[in-house]
Amino acid sequence: MSAKPLKLLLVTFDQRDRHRSLVEHLRHSEIVYELLDLSNKRVFSSLSSIRRAQKDQQVSHTIFFGLERVVCLWMVYSRIVGKLGQVVRLGGDPFTVPRSRHKRGQSLSAKQKLKFRFRLLGIKIGLRATKSFICVSKTLMKIPELNSKNSFVVPTIPRHITKVPRSLSVNGPLNLLTVTNLNYIEKYEGVLVVIEAARKLSDYRDVHLKIAGGGRWLSSLRQQAVLAEGENLSVDVTGFMKNISDCYSAADIFVYHSTLDSWPNVLIEAMSVGLPIVVNKIPEFEELLGMEISKNLCGSGDSVAFATRLALLSRDTELYQMQSGIVLARCHELLSISERSAKLKGWLLLETDAQR
Task: Determine the average pLDDT of the residues in 70-84.
Answer: 49
Integer angstrom CA distances of residue 289 from 67, 151, 293, 301, 346: 26, 22, 6, 16, 27
Residue 184 one-letter amino acid: Y
Report d(CA 194, CA 304) in Å as an integer.
10
Mean of per-residue pLDDT scores for the chain: 79
What pLDDT, in 10s, does the model give residues 57-68? 788 777 777 655
Burial zone of 132 (CB within 10 Å; 0-12 exposed, 13-18 middle, 19+ buried): buried
pLDDT digits (tens, 9 = 90+) for 210-258: 999 998 899 999 999 999 888 899 999 998 887 888 899 899 999 999 9
* Domain range annotation of the chain: 7-157+337-355, 174-334
pTM of the model: 0.79
Q: What pLDDT is attached to residue 67?
A: 52
pLDDT for 17:
66
The answer to whether domain 7-157+337-355 and domain 174-334 are alike in fold is yes
Say which residue, 39 or 246, is predicted with more confidence. 246
- Identify the pLDDT of residue 283: 85
Give the CATH number of domain 7-157+337-355; options: 3.40.50.300, 3.30.479.30, 3.90.870.10, 3.40.50.2000.
Answer: 3.40.50.2000
206 phi/psi in degrees, rounded to 5? -70, 135
pLDDT band at residue 132 under the 50/70/90 scheme: confident
Percent residues over pLDDT 90 in the chain:
27
pLDDT digits (tens, 9 = 90+) for 279-294: 998 888 888 888 888 8
Confidence category of residue 96, pLDDT binned at 50, 70, 90: very low
Q: Name residue 258's amino acid.
A: S
Exposure string for 269-298, b = 16+ CB within 10 A, e = fewer: bbbbbbbbbbbbebebbbbbbbeebbebbb
> What pLDDT band is residue 70 in, cutting at 50, 70 and 90?
low
pLDDT band at 35 (very low <50, low <70, confident <90, very high): confident
| Closest residue by Cα to residue 11 from 25, 52, 166, 183 | 52
Tell me what pLDDT residue 50 has.
78
Say what the pLDDT of residue 113 is. Answer: 66
Q: What is the pLDDT of residues 166-200, one digit of tens each?
A: 988 877 889 999 999 998 888 999 999 999 999 99
* Residue of higher predicted confidence among 284 and 262: 284
**Residue 99 confidence (pLDDT) above 80:** no
Instruction: Write the single-letter amino acid at 144.
Output: P
Residues 281, 299 contacting (CB under 8 angstroms)? yes
Domain 174-334: give its CATH architecture.
3-Layer(aba) Sandwich (3.40)
253 or 164: whose pLDDT is higher?
253
Contact 229, 255 (CB under 8 A): no
